[in-house]
Amino acid sequence: MKIAHLVESLDDRGVAAALADLAEAGPAAGFEVVVVALTPSAHSAVTGRLERAGAAPVELNVAPWDPRAVLQVVGVLRTHGADLVHTHGARPDLVGSAAAARLRIPAISTLHHIHAQPADRGDQLRRTAKVLARKRFMTRTIATSALQRDWYRKVAGSTAGLSVIPDGATDPGVGTPEEATRFRRELGVGADEVVAVSVAPMRRGQGQDMLLDAVAELPPDEPVTVVLCGDGPLRPWLESRVAADPALSARVTFRRAAAPVELLRAADVQLHTTRDDTMPRALVLGQGTGTPAVATRVGGIPEIVTRETGALTPVSSSPIADELVRMVRDPELRARRGTAARARFLDRFEASGWAARLRDVYRSALGYADAPAAAELDSPEPVAQG
């Protein structure tokens, strides 16, 4: 099977990073991947990974609402002999379903976001119309979390044609004592110091401001160093706030160019204090490295982090500080949760299992005689509350 994944771009921070993992796992599951982006991305590391996996990345340069987009995608699909289109995002959904219809091949769509915020009547009608269009033109929809499933059911009226399959990731592996020692040496901290790392992008809603509030509340003698990794529009403001506060600057450091997985492998605790998130890939990777997490109880995060693998807190600085202190003071708790996190990753999120679950969906959509029937792939209806 040749599966064409249609995305907006090959941005390293977007869905394309996960698709590179899928491209590596796909052949063992019985399918090949080609990834088609509607807009180009400069200096994307994902491109190289896709090429090494034999996934033939294609970058188009299609302006928004350009009617020629469908014809361009049709041409790419024909060139690569795609048997099925799998779309990711609003514009890829629209273009991909139209291209699939022209070629008379199935179209699958993954939900990566939900629109549960309050809306006026007009917005509600538009959201409902999009879901109903999805039900009509897509062979199947995939939700990455039960949270998305429940939202979809409220809008669509049922979960018929909907599967819940969390995105997976290539096993990042666990860290070694040598990695941890080298990391601490770079940070200038002792062997008994606990290192807590946040690798969330530094943009609005990701909660680094709340995390700094939590760090400010820690007891002054608590042996913990917090590392903020990555980049984003809020980075200058975060750096200036830390520089202006001696208590924070003594505890918080930034690593712009460091690879998130390398930091997670060397860390003692992962921090993910977002105000809203569906199924953050960073937390999945953290579980793969065997790093226990302190995370906010929002969106689909409780479907990744459990009480066995970490701590879930309200969206507030004081509970975050309390749970971090608890982790810092209890190395046995960190070790136990880290072991459970690693086991959960291998069972639920590792890329080969993800590819196998998608294979069943693809084979069913293509009508393979030995594939599961469509109804067998439907997610169970959510249990009514109250």
pLDDT tens digits for range 238-264: 999 999 999 999 999 998 877 889 999
Average pLDDT over residues 204-233: 93
| Region of 62 on the Ramachandran plot (φ > 0 left; ψ -120 to 50 alpha; else beta) | beta
pLDDT in the model for residue 168:
94
Q: What whole-number distance in Å separates Cα of residue 96 and Cα of residue 152?
A: 20
Decide: helix, strand or coil at residue 269.
strand
| 179, two tokens | 């990695």
**213 has pLDDT over 60:** yes
pLDDT in the model for residue 134:
65
Exposed, middle or buried by CB within 10 Å (0-12, 13-18, 19+), for 77? buried
Enclosing H/E stretch for 379: none
Decide: helix, strand or coil at residue 256.
coil
**371 has pLDDT over 80:** yes
Average pLDDT over residues 282-297: 96
Closest of 194, 190, 222, 229 to residue 208, by C-alpha: 229
**pLDDT tens across 7-45, in order?**
999 988 778 889 999 999 999 999 999 999 999 987 778
DSSP state of 304: T
| 2, two tokens | 């040749």
pLDDT in the model for residue 120:
57
**118 has pLDDT over 60:** no
Residue in the block written with tokens 């820690």: 218
Least confident stretch, 45-49, 81-85, 135-139, 213-217: 135-139
**221 has pLDDT over 50:** yes
pLDDT in the model for residue 172:
95
| 379, two tokens | 């997610």
**107 has pLDDT over 50:** yes
**132 has pLDDT over 60:** no
**105 has pLDDT over 60:** yes
Q: Give 66's pLDDT tier (boundaries 50, 70, 90).
A: confident
Interior/surface letters 301-318, b for 16+ CB within 10 angstroms, e for the rest? bbbbbbeebbbbbeeebe
